[in-house]
Every structure is written in structure tokens, then in C-alpha cells.
Amino acid sequence: MPNAPKAKPPKGGPATTASPGPEKGGAHRPPPSRYGPGFATLAVHAGARPDPATGARATPIYQTTSYVFDDADHAASLFNLEAFGHIYTRIMNPTQAVLEERVAALEGGTAGLAVASGHAAQQIVFHTLMAPGDEFVAARQLYGGSINQFGQAFLKYDWHVRWADGTEPASFEAALSERTKAIFIESIANPGGIVIDIEAIARIARDAGVPLIVDNTLASPYLCRPRDFGADIVVHSLTKYLGGHGNSIGGIVVDCGTFDWLGSGRYPTLSEPCPSYHGIRFAETFGDFAFAMAARTLALRDLGPAISPMNAFLILTGIETLPLRMEKHVANALAVAEWLAAHPKVAWVNYPGLEDSPYHVLARKYCPRGAGACYSFGLKGGYEAGVALVSRVELFSHLANIGDTRSLIIHPASTTHRQLSSEERARAGAGDDVVRISVGIEDVEDIIADLDQALAAL
């Protein structure tokens, strides 16, 4: 059902992440490879085609709840998953379908499923994998909201998180049990400026026979492609860099098509006959996009967090400039980090793009184009100084978001992480002295001037 048959996602995804660069040979240049468009080309074109009804070149906002069936047989085949097509916008929508195909192409996956928020994407993934009493292992260096979702909300489903240290791959192995169904990490961890060793943790997941889920929100597929390092499922908060303009909430699940659900036999939703759909086995019927199909036609159908067509359109428009924005974000982020590191009121700067960061080597491996634009630094004045700084900035906006064109600032201990115990805060990289910034794409001189005046007043 994700797309009409002609729009079925390409198996294995695109061949390259990066543009091949200018070619030599002038007139003898070969025609571009049909199967290997570069990242910037995919960011503009993947999944989109002129509207068949009107020729509209931009993807239309299909602001409709439902779609007329050709006849009763057509309706029956749609409901049986025997034909691909639209039924109802809670399950899919043509604007959403373009967004899904585009992000899947950028991540090198087989299919995507866009939903209402990043948290909804996580909920949908675990609903597809877990049964009551099951466990999963997650890095404790996560977005604060994910710590709450995993540690508290999921308990109501009897799903249990076991925390590991994202900076110590061996700790994931130690947290495995018979009931472990997945490992979950962020690529660049929020908010601490930590880069996780994806390949080392992927090896542990493979040996344990469980999928590795990577939240790639802070890196975006432009800076890091987790599938290349062994991820099986990638999730995003589209709210951040992919949408990029701070105007819509959304999330996405990307199926990398790499996990053998039938061979594993530990995921009955994917491998056993499904009573909801006349006994089909998802893994058998849908092959390397079975996870995305089950997530859509079972979890999204029954839990309901659909993305609106308008938000899908705004996020799709944002993605067209992702490479341009990320280049500017990371260049500004590095310049600001270097400036902060030399400031007398700043105790430390945790930016993996700085050569003295303990994560610099990992950043060069996993994010060679730049270590993101969201990181933390410590104020010598502690909690009081953090509160004062966020009150005095003028260009920076004091709010709870990241990945906007605008520069943003927050003091996690008094806001996003205040529900956690002070021990949990410190372990999540959000201690009392920590300030987190998301460096925008304004002129870097103006960003630095604003921090300069606010720090001078402390």
C-alpha cells in the first residue's frame, strides 16, 4: 500500500550518498548513471513526479481524508493488501508517500513510513517489534523525551528498556537477555555532542540476532547514513533538520531492508500468519520492505498517529535544501565552538568537530562532512549562569527545539531535562552548568556577537 506499483521504492536504495563530483573529459562525459543520483539530486527529486492529473511540478498537498474506489473488487483488493492504493489518510496519503520515498532514498532504505512526530515513529517501531514482557537495550545518552517515553510510557505496555552506556559498546552486550528484541541508539546523541560508534554496536546487535534502530535526527542523512554502518531501522524527528524551518512536527521510520525476519522467527508480527489480513505473513509477502508495511498497516492503522498532508508538504519542501542548510549549519557550528572554547567564562565545549573532543575520531568516521550543529557547553557559573545566559540572548531564541534555520538556545537542567533526577540529568549530559545550542544559518558574526554580549553581562 505505500505507493502505486510503479512507485515502489527501489531495492537497495541509491548507490551513492555523495555526488561524484565534476567529471573530466568534457564532451566525452558519460551520461549520468540511472541508478546512482547524488545526494543533492535525490533531496530535490526522489519520490516526486509531475502530478498526473494537472501536471503540477511541485508536489500537491492532497488535503483529503479518503479516496474513491474504482469498484467493489478494487476496494476488496485494497483491503486485502493485494493491490497497492489509497484508502484513508490515517494509513497513507499521496503527499506523504513522496516524503516517504524521498527520505528512504536519502537513507539508502527500501521504504519509509511518515507519521505525526518523532515520538510517534519510535512508538510505531516498538509496537511492531515488541510483545508484553519484552526488553530492548538503549543508550542512556538520548533526547530527554525518549528517556521518558522508553522508561515510563512504555511500561504501560509491559515493554522494558535496559540502559547501556552509548560510549561503551560492551555495555550493550552486557544488557542483552533472552527477551531483548532490539538495540536503540542515536547517531549524534542529544544534547551532549557525543558521536556513537554505530558499527561496533551494530556488530553486537547482529551477534544477538536483533535489529539495530538508529535515531539519526541530529546528524540528518546528509551528515551520517547509519545503514552504511549496520543499522536495520532508522528513525527521525522530521521536526528538526529534515523539515528544517521550525514550522511542522513530523517523524519517519525508514526500513533499511537488511533484517531477516523470517530467518529470525522471533518477531511473530512479521513472520507469523496475520489474522488482520487473511493470514498473510508480512516477511514472506513484502520481503525487504516488510517492516515498513507491517508498521503502516498494523501499528499506524491501529494506533493512529498520522502526519497531516500539509506538514508532509512543508517538510518535503524543507528537504530540498537540506544539503545547503547543513553545509552552513556545520560551518557556523564549528566557528562558534572555536570561539566559545577560547572564552574565559566557558569551562568546556563538547563539540565533536573540535580536535580535542574525545569523539573527534568517531565524528570523522561517521560524519565526515561535519559533526552536526547542536551541542553543549559548560558555564563556569553553573546553574545560575545558565539561566542568566538564556535570559540575555537576543538573536538566539530561548526554546525547546533544535534544527531550525534560527539559532536556538536552552538550559536543559531548568527545562527539557527537569523531570529527570539530577543523577539521570548528569548521565544524560544535561548537568546544571550545561547550555545547549542549535547553531542556525544566520551570519556567523551575528551569532557570535549575540553570545558575546550575553556572556559579558553574566
Ligand X SMILES: *Cc1c(COP(=O)(O)O)cnc(C)c1O
Q: What is the DSSP letter of 306?
A: P
Q: Give 221-238 as a DSSP string.
A: HHH--GGGGT-SEEEEET
Least Å distance, CB 121 to ligand X, is 8
The single residue among 192, 221, 251, 318 that binds ligand X, judged by CB under 6 A, is 251
Task: Supply 143's cell numbers.
Answer: 533526547
Least Å distance, CB 172 to ligand X, is 18
100: three-class secondary structure by DSSP? helix
The site that binds ligand X (CB under 6 A) totals a number of residues, namely 17
The packing angle between helices 118-129 and 144-151, to 10°, is 30
Contact 112, 101 (CB under 8 A): yes
Pairwise CA distance, residues 440 & 446, whole Å? 11
Least Å distance, CB 188 to ligand X, is 8
Instruction: Determine, following the binding rule CB under 6 A, whether residue 117 of this chain makes contact with ligand X.
Output: yes
Pairwise CA distance, residues 339 & 444, whole Å? 11
Pairwise CA distance, residues 188 & 217, whole Å? 8
Cβ of 328: how many Cβ atoms within 10 Å?
A: 17
CA terminus-to-terminus distance, the chain = 57
Residue whose C-alpha is closest to residue 13's, from 227, 246, 323: 227
**Region of 52-60, 86-94, 193-201, 232-240 interacting with ligand X (CB under 6 A):** 232-240
Q: Which is nearer to ligand X, 241 or 277 (CB)?
A: 241
Q: Residues for the chain: how many in total?
A: 458
The single residue among 123, 220, 239, 271 that binds ligand X, judged by CB under 6 A, is 239
Least Å distance, CB 218 to ligand X, is 6
Q: Which is nearer to ligand X, 224 or 402 (CB)?
A: 402
Measured from each CB, the residue nearest to ligand X is 118
The packing angle between helices 309-319 and 94-107, to 10°, is 30
Q: Which is nearer to ligand X, 119 or 296 (CB)?
A: 119
Q: Which is nearer to ligand X, 140 or 240 (CB)?
A: 240
Least Å distance, CB 146 to ligand X, is 5
State the amino acid at position 343 in one-letter form: H
The single residue among 39, 62, 136, 143 that binds ligand X, judged by CB under 6 A, is 143
Pairwise CA distance, residues 425 & 141, whole Å? 10
Instruction: Give the contact letters, 377-416, x = binds to ligand X (CB under 6 A), - = no.
Output: -------------------------x--------------
Instruction: Determine, following the binding rule CB under 6 A, whether residue 127 of this chain makes contact with ligand X.
Output: no
Instruction: Determine, following the binding rule CB under 6 A, whether residue 249 of this chain makes contact with ligand X.
Output: yes
Least Å distance, CB 82 to ligand X, is 34
Instruction: Give the contact letters, 163-192, x = binds to ligand X (CB under 6 A), - = no.
Output: -----------------------x---x--
Residue whose C-alpha is closest to residue 212's, from 279, 147, 291, 285: 291
Instruction: Give the contact letters, 204-223, x = binds to ligand X (CB under 6 A), - = no.
Output: -----------x-xx-----
What is the contact surface with ligand X in residues (CB under 6 A)? 117-119, 143, 145-146, 186, 190, 215, 217-218, 237, 239-240, 249, 251, 402
